[in-house]
């Protein structure tokens, strides 16, 4: 019996090879270069913690009015609507970008200043190792 741990191709997720792809993502979605950008890469589901991260952004608003959050991923239409509604209710809808699902997340990881993985039911997601390979600070929570 051999244990196979999650693996990330560190050459593929090399920030030195992304050469400005993060700047292009920020430009595409209208995020100022100097705005702190938090990012989540995950399927939109209640246990992934997108709503809680949006609530945290709302709490940080007074101290960090330029801070933005980008949600990369998709999910069932009703859950996506609930997450958008949470942003509106928290008063941060204009600072939350829903980028949808993308097969290559490297440009998004390159754009983030901080990668957030607030999952309730995930022991250790591959997205965490990909963000770490891109040399991004990571906040990972498992409330389960």
Q: What is the mean pLDDT of residues 22-37?
A: 96
DSSP assignments along 75-129, one per residue? --HHHHHHHHHHHHHTT-GGGEEEEE--S--HHHHHH-SEEEE--SS-SS-HHHH
Which band of pLDDT confidence, cut at 50, 70 and 90, is reported for residue 123? low
What pLDDT does 108 receive?
96
What pLDDT does 127 receive?
87
What pLDDT does 106 receive?
93
pLDDT tens sequence across 37-67: 999 999 999 999 999 999 999 999 999 999 9
Between residues 132 and 22, the one the model is more confident about: 22
The C-alpha atoms of residue 61 and residue 57 are separated, in whole angstroms, by 6
What pLDDT does 17 receive?
77
């Amino acid at each position: 019996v051999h244990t196979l741990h999650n693996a990330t191709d560190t050459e593929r997720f090399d920030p030195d090879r992304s050469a400005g792809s993060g700047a292009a993502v920020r430009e595409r979605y209208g995020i100022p270069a100097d705005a702190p950008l938090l990012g989540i890469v995950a399927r939109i589901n209640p246990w992934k913690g997108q709503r809680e991260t949006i609530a945290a952004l709302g709490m940080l608003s007074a101290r960090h009015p330029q801070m933005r959050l980008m949600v990369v991923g998709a999910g069932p239409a009703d859950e996506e609507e609930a997450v958008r509604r949470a942003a509106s209710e928290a008063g941060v809808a204009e600072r939350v970008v829903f980028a949808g699902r993308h097969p290559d997340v490297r440009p998004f990881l390159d754009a983030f200043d901080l990668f957030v993985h607030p999952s309730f039911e995930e022991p250790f997601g591959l997205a965490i190792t990909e963000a770490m390979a891109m040399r991004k600070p990571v906040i990972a929570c498992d409330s389960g």
